[in-house]
Every structure is written in structure tokens, then in C-alpha cells.
Chain A
């Protein structure tokens, strides 16, 4: 057995990669575990090798950073300092006496499970997109904004010929630019937020000229592709019988109401829609880590309150790739020091900590400005499905709340089955909370992935024998 301390990093996105590099360079034996077939995470998702992309950078920003991460990973893997396990879907991290067991299902079938043992764990699992329901949102052709981008980056495919990009948040601009560059006609970018609201946060904005420049660059690219941008507008409905044929776009007034008579129809065969992102917190929850709202709570060194468990990147709060990089670097340095029974020198991560502070402040503003429009709940028709998996319409949720007195997401779930399907409530939880008028809460899923019963039965000392986890 190796003398070197062992770290398991879950997630090979910007946060996990940079942490793995920092720790491996300081004598830690790292196992990098990710569900995807290649490293990169969401931001640096790569086209499959067989597609022979000779200029993959055309789909990316900050390509130089990616080259450094990619080459650094390859060098550490060659030197035996990092083991990179691809297509490993972690469903549970278990605390053992003095170490951890990371249980992963082998993809894509996910029928076999393996365990990786480590002295410390970094949760760098990123997040997923939040979409609030509206009439027609289950029609084929309606996809998440990030999902359209992910399919494009990895498979070099488009959801259709004519797309509308809609919702709110900083992801919409890069997605619209990506789709247009790849040849889709982007008929409209519909953003519900009012960019003038940024003016109220002038001090924070002034501290981030780079972010403003980034926004301006995207705006210029959109103009170049002839994409019309409609701010303070929303998609009120998607239309079609078996697949999307058009969306209705409408202007919003300052109270979040649709301006009467402002609606118009935009023919399109795809709608890329998103209302922000949510962190993946399941693994942290099973480990007993404290959450802060919907984020994994961490200290200055990116440590969770469970000894031996760190978290970095969007699992600890949504803030884009640059923030994930800063947090990952701090986590990697902290882990290397702590596993060597040292206290990390703050000066060693001062630059990253400064970047982290600034970016967190910036994204707190983005979060305030880019909230889903007020009154979205009122536009969810009674027959609109809220839970896509269990096909639970808004009427059932409203009945559970108004007539049966359900006051929280859990009770609504028990009464309606909303959130009991395959996705374990990841897709509908924010909508159920909105309709029930209660704050979104942590989900308490037993596992981060649906686990075949055969796998649970084969694990004599594993989580299956721990009734508290089931």
C-alpha cells in the first residue's frame, strides 16, 4: 500500500481538476472520479474523440486554462500521482473508521458498483439547471439551456433548426451564441430579468470590469449572428402536438405581470430554457455535511463541517467556472496540508481567496437580478405538469396545499407523488416549493443515483446494512 495520503475527488470539472492537480503536486495520491467519459465538467465538456474535432476551442471560452488543466492531468496520470476513473457514477460516500469509501456505479449500464477508499474526500460535483414549469414545457424540443449546450459540446448536434433561448441568468448568452455559431437560427433570446437592476449594484460591478467585458463580448456576438434580445420578457407557453412548433413570448411589467396585448408567437422547433442552477448536494447530505440553504456549507479552506470532507465549485454555490477554479485551488492546497498534519499558510492561497471573495460578491448580485419573474406561479395552468416523471399536474399540488393543508414540499410529495419518480425530485422541487409557497429545502435523497437492488444486496458492510441511510 502506498504511504502517501489518499484523496478521492468526485467531479472532474474545473473545481475538481484544479484541486486534484494542486494536491497531487504536493504528494497526495489522488483518485479523480467522474460520471463522464472525459474530464472537463460542464464548462469544459469535450467533443467525443471519434468526432475528430480539430478546433474544439471554437465551442469554448478560456481555452488556454483548459489546456493547462488537461495537460496537467495527463502528466500526473502518467506519473501515477492521479488515477482518473471515468464513467464512475458515485451514489454514496460512506464514512468508515478512519477513512472513506466512495461507492460508484460503472457506467453507462450502472449495474456494477466499485468502492474507492480514501483518507479525504473532495465533493466537486457542480450543479444542474433549474427550469420552472409553464404550459407546454414537456413537449419534445423543449430542453434545458445547459442541456442544449452540453449536447452541442459533446455530440456536435443541435436540438433543431430554429431555436429560442429563454429564461433568466448568465448561462443564456453563451448558449445562444453557441447555438448560433453552430448554425442554428436563434429566433430570440428572451430574458425575464431587467438589466437595469444591475445599476443598483454599481460598486460591485465596477470591481469586475472583466465580467462586464465578457457580457459585452457575448452581446456583440449575438448582434453579429442577428439574434434579437428581449429583456423583461418571458415565454408564457410552448405550443405543438407531438413536438414543439412555436412559443408565445410576452413582455413583463415591473410587477412581473404579462403586459396585456404584448404576446406574440415565435415559430421554432427548439426552446432552450433555464431559470438558474442548483448545486448537487446529495453526497454531502448523506455524509451529514451542513448545508447553507441549498449549498454545501464550507469554511475559508473549503472544508465542510464533517472532518475529512471538503467541497468546492458549484456544489457550494453557483458562480461559474472562474469561481470553481479558485475554490478548487484552495481546497487542493488545504487538503495537501491537512493530510500532512499541517495548517495551510493563508499566504499560499491568498490570490485564490481574493478571487473567490470577489466572484462570490459578483454572483450574489447576479442571483438577485436574475431571479425568475414574480408571479411565474400564476402562469402555471392547472393542467400543466409540474412533476415530469410522475406526471403530476399543478392542480394536484394546489389541491394538496389549499384543500389538504400541505405546508411543505415533503407533505406535497407524499400526497401527490410529485418528486417520487426517476429524477428524485431534482426537476420539480423548485416548482413544487413555489406552488406550495414554501422555501426550497434540502431533499434528503438516500443516494445520489438510483441504485439497483442487486448492488445494495451485494454490499455486506455497505450502505445497505445502514438503515439510517435507507
Chain B
């Protein structure tokens, strides 16, 4: 059997729930941050920068760099690496400041 993080720690996660990311449904394991949920789904970028519109995702992973910002339930500039996903969350890619420009 291939190695996976879940197998490594013999995880028996509670049932997953769904959130939407840019209108697409994603399954999330309880307790995961939004960044972890996106990584599990193979998504590594969810923001474009204000200036040149470069894609960004996780960089520091611990809340220091603010590269992982996105919009959660209408609130822009949330750090995906800190915020835990909750059932039904509506998560969106953030463009620029996240406020309409």
C-alpha cells in the first residue's frame, strides 16, 4: 500500500463534510484548515496578487507571511493556513485586495 500521511499516523478521521471552493464541492476532514483541505484536493494557489496578478497559496504555513489569503463566507483576507474549514463554508479565490476595486 502506498504511504500517505493518514496511514502513517493510522488516522481514523471522523466523517468528512463538504465546502465549496469557487463553486466546486470539496470534501474536508474535520479539523483541517482550509489550506490543508485545498492541498488535499490538489489545489495549491487561491489568490492573485494586487500588482501583477501572480498566483499564490501557502508559503510559511504558520500564519506569518499572509500569502495564503482568501475569501471565506464573504470575508476577504482570511489566512487559509490558520482558519479551520467548517461544514458549508463558501470559499473563494481572492483577487487583489479582495475588496471590489
Contact = CB atoms under 8 A, between A and B. Distances in A.
B101 interface: no
11 contacts: A55-B8, A141-B44, A147-B60, A150-B61, A156-B29, A157-B39, A159-B39, A182-B5, A388-B65, A423-B66, A427-B65
A423 B81 contact: no
B84 A156 contact: no
Given A181-B3, A183-B2, A51 B11 contact: yes
A49 B54 CA distance: 35
Contact of B4 (A138, A146, A183): A183
B44 A54 contact: no
B12 interface: yes
Nearest to B52: A391
A42 B61 CA distance: 11
A55 B36 CA distance: 19
A256 to B, nearest CB: 25
A144 interface: yes
B39 A146 contact: no
Q: Which 6 A-B pairs have the closest CB atoms?
A: A48-B31, A147-B61, A155-B36, A50-B30, A50-B31, A422-B66
A201 B31 CA distance: 45
Nearest to A140: B45
Contact of B65 (A52, A149, A160, A423): A423
The winner among A53, A129, A426 for most chain B CB atoms within 10 A is A53
A183 B8 contact: yes
B36 A156 contact: yes
Contacts of A109: 75, 78
B3 A182 contact: yes
A160 B5 CA distance: 12
Interface residues of B, number: 51
A42 B62 contact: yes
Contacts of B61: 143-144, 146-151
Nearest to A391: B51
A107 B7 CA distance: 30
B19 interface: no
Contact of B5 (A54, A144, A183, A421): A183
Given A51-B32, A55-B10, A129 B60 contact: yes
Nearest to B67: A388
Interface of A: 35, 37, 42, 47-56, 58-59, 107-109, 128-129, 138, 140-144, 146-152, 154-160, 181-183, 242-243, 388-391, 421-423, 426-427
Interface string B77-98: 0110111100000000000000
Given A48-B30, A183-B2, A243-B45, A426 B13 contact: no
A37 B32 CA distance: 11
Contacts of A147: 58-62, 81
Nearest to A54: B10
Contact of A48 (B50, B52, B84): B84
The B contact surface, by secondary structure, is loop
A55 B9 contact: yes
A152 B30 CA distance: 15
Given A50-B13, A107-B82, A157 B44 contact: no
Nearest to A155: B36
A125 B86 CA distance: 28
A183 B62 CA distance: 22
A91 B9 CA distance: 35
A142 B52 CA distance: 18
Nearest to A45: B62
Contacts of B36: 151, 154-157
Contacts of A35: 63, 82
Contacts of B23: none
B11 A150 contact: no
The winner among A49, A142, A159, A183 for most chain B CB atoms within 10 A is A183
A152 to B, nearest CB: 6
Contacts of A155: 31-33, 35-37, 39-40
A51 B51 CA distance: 38
A156 B33 contact: no
B21 to A, nearest CB: 15
Contacts of B74: none
Given A52-B14, A108-B84, A157 B9 contact: no
Contacts of B29: 50-51, 156
Given A243-B44, A422-B66, 5 more contacts: A48-B31, A48-B32, A50-B13, A50-B32, A155-B37
Given A147-B62, A388-B67, A423-B66, A140 B44 contact: yes
B59 A182 contact: no
Given A108-B82, A155-B33, A56 B9 contact: yes
A426 B65 CA distance: 7
A401 B57 CA distance: 31
Given A108-B83, A138-B56, A182-B3, A54 B12 contact: yes
Contacts of B14: 50-52
A160 B44 contact: yes
A11 to B, nearest CB: 13
